[in-house]
Amino acid sequence: QVQLVESGGGLVQAGGSLRLSCAASGTSLRANAMAWYRQAPGKPRDLVALISGRGNTRYADSVKGRFIISRDNAKNTVYLQMNSLQPEDTAVYYCAASDYSEIYAFKHWGQGTQVTVSS
**Mean pLDDT, residues 77-87 taken together:** 97
**Mean pLDDT, residues 69-82 taken together:** 95
> CA angle, 45 as apex, 5 and 21 as ends, to 5°?
25
**Residue 30: its pLDDT value, please?**
82
**Residue 98: its pLDDT value, please?**
95
Please return the burial class of 45, using the count of CB atoms within 10 Å of its CB with bins 0-12, 13-18 and 19+.
Answer: middle
